Chains A and B, each alone.
Chain A
Amino acid sequence: DIQMTQSPSSLSASVGDRITITCRASQDISRWLAWYQQKPEKAPKSLIYAASSLQSGVPSRFSGSGSGTDFTLTINYLQPEDFATYYCQQYNSYPLTFGGGTKVEIK
């Protein structure tokens, strides 16, 4: 199985900040990576696929980059509604696997 490691596991930030979350795969997954946002007691929401393509309706302050084993999710001008937990997921090979999550909290 491909292991997905996210860092940091949590971070504190203020509205208006720019933050970056890292996701590392245990082997080369090309650009087969997705990012999801999850708020408490809610289902995850799909943000990004193919490492950098935004799902329809996702604000442009979200961006993704990377290929191979190292990926990042960047949120520019953090908004109050962005405080949530973010997960990466590889879909290069089965079984599909998720990272452990990064919780973004209000400073």
Chain B
Amino acid sequence: QLQLQESGPGLVKPSETLSLTCSVSGGSISSDSDYWGWIRQPPGKGPEWIGSIYYTGNTYYNPSLKSRVTLSVDTSKNQFSLKLHSVTAADTAVYYCARLDTDYVTYWGQGILVIVSS
């Protein structure tokens, strides 16, 4: 059974960098058929796709966030990571890591609430 688990700080100060890691268990992040992604959901709103990464390091970013986002993958640890720079209160959301098959989500992590506040 595939499991994805997000980890990282739940509170980030404005202008700083939000850093999250997703640990994958029950499957290999180096699967040829899968992409790995980050999706966020502000309180009371719908989901927003942040970006996706392949195990080779190929990335796809949402243009609305592209200038502030960096995705990376560590196949040796079966993990992938998100960095969102220069955060503001508008970046407060539940952040989900996910496995994608042809760009639709097949597995979601449980999510982690990140609050941007001083």
Q: Does B110 contact A (CB under 8 A)?
A: yes
Count residues on chain B whose CB falls below 8 Å from chain A CBs: 21
Check A49 against B104 for contact (C-beta < 8 Å).
yes
Of B47, B52, B64, the contact of A98 (CB 8 Å cutoff): B47
Check B46 against A99 for contact (C-beta < 8 Å).
yes
Question: Cα distance A87–B63 when bound, in Å?
Answer: 21
Chain B residues near A98 (CB, 8 Å)?
A: 46-49
* Chain A proximity of B51: nearest CB distance (Å): 9
Q: Does B96 contact A (CB under 8 A)?
A: yes
Of B48, B63, B102, B105, the contact of A36 (CB 8 Å cutoff): B105
Question: Cα distance A106–B64 when bound, in Å?
Answer: 36
Q: Does A66 contact B (CB under 8 A)?
A: no
Query: What residue in chain A is nearest B102 (Cβ atoms)?
Result: A91
Question: How would residues 79 to 118 of chain B score, 1 for a CB under 8 Å from any chain A CB and 0 otherwise?
Answer: 0000000000000000010000111111111110000000
Q: Given A43-B110, A44-B105, A49-B104, A97 and B49 touching (CB < 8 A)?
A: yes
Check A91 against B96 for contact (C-beta < 8 Å).
no
| Chain A CB within 10 Å, residue with most, of B60, B64, B105, B109 | B105
Check B46 against A101 for contact (C-beta < 8 Å).
yes
Check A44 against B103 for contact (C-beta < 8 Å).
no
Check B63 against A46 for contact (C-beta < 8 Å).
no
Of B60, B63, B108, the contact of A44 (CB 8 Å cutoff): B108
Question: Cα distance A45–B106 when bound, in Å?
Answer: 8
Question: Cα distance A101–B44 when bound, in Å?
Answer: 10
Query: What residue in chain A is nearest B66 (Cβ atoms)?
Result: A95
Q: Does B62 contact A (CB under 8 A)?
A: yes
Interface of chain A residues 31 through 61 with chain B (CB within 8 A) = 32, 34, 36, 43-46, 49, 55
Query: What residue in chain A is nearest B104 (Cβ atoms)?
Result: A34
> Which residue numbers of A lie inside 8 Å of B, CB to CB?
1, 32, 34, 36, 43-46, 49, 55, 87, 89, 91, 94-101
